[in-house]
Amino acid sequence: MSILTYREALGRAMTEEMVRDPKVFLMGEEVAQYNGAYKVSKGMLDRFGPERVIDSPISEGGFAGLGVGAAMVGLRPIIEMMTWNFGIQAFDQIINHAAKMLYMSSGQFNVPIVFRGPNGAAHMLAAQHSQTIEGMLTQVPGLKVVTSCNPADGYGLLKSSIRDNNPVIFLESEMMYAMKGEVPDDEHLIPLGVGSIKRAGQHVTLIAWAKMVSRAMDCAEQLAAEGVECEVIDPRCLRPLDEEMIFNSVRKTHRIVIIEEAYQAASVGSYIAEQVQRFCFDELDAPVMRVANEFVPMPYAESLEHLVMPEVERIIPVIKQVLYMR
């Protein structure tokens, strides 16, 4: 095992895949000479040269479209969005072309491409730089949507995403890039569509992904002192979703709280809640509960930002509510 930061684990995954397969290349704003806006691609230009680590113009729609075309003719692009707030500019290419090409070409064109970059709030970046977009993209047939909560998962899931023959949306977090954790020294592949139980428990299931997993783990740690054993589940892939893992946990704990950094309406959490009540209704001893962002644009002020996002002090009362604890 090696101790790597999240950014180092992602950079190692890309580097190993570019060594393994000469068809893999990286493109995006500042990925080459600046070593990446968040230094995820540090050293890759020196190793692979400007034909495989490519600085793009400030035109997300343009270089996303170039990536889709490259994938259609047999290459395997990694397209970095400096932030998914900017990636919204590329939704036409992602949704109308990458996602639909295999279907519209009657199977003639695979689009093996990864669109990756930070998603959600960071720190005092305000309304236009704090959006969480997974709910939008999980509604698009043809896309796989992947998240990760630590360096090891980021490494294993990104390698699998690069090898996948379908377009993959890989959602990172700016707040996690400096997070350190153990990463296997040997090749570590995590299949897409397979979730992970981060903490076993018997009283209530907490479902969270990306940086909300750490919030769930903090809640579980605090409640353990009160005799409450929370099971913390990370789906990792939001599309395809490991529904059976979720259902099995609910059948064990009979209670569930979904924690997500998004708005409640039409979100991934709302889909999970619907599936649980549909397939596990008789197993539930309490209503399905959710904790999400408050429905306001993200403020700039740090104190107000914390009031919008799910924090431990807002999550624990909801967990106690489903447990009928005072």
Catalytic (active-site) positions? 60, 129
Helix 212-224 and helix 312-322, axial crossing angle in degrees, nearest 10? 60
The DSSP code for 57 is P
Tokens of 146: 């992947």
User: Which pair of structure tokens corresponds to residue 252?
Assistant: 């064990």
Return the axis-axis angle of helices 6-20 and 151-163, rounded to nearest 10°. Answer: 30
Would you say 219 and 230 are in contact if contact means Cβ atoms under 8 Å apart?
Answer: yes
**CA-CA distance, 13 to 32, in Å (whole number)?**
16
What is the rounded (10 degree) CA torsion for 241, 243, 249, 250?
120
Quote the CA–CA distance of 294 and 90 in Å, as a whole number: 27
115 within 8 A of 64, measured Cβ to Cβ: yes
Alpha-helical segments (H) within the chain:
6-20, 44-48, 60-72, 84-87, 91-93, 101-104, 134-137, 151-163, 212-224, 243-253, 268-279, 302-308, 312-322
CB 162 within 8 A of CB 113: no
147 neighbors 261 (Cβ within 8 angstroms): no
For residue 11, the SS3 value is helix
Length of the chain: 326
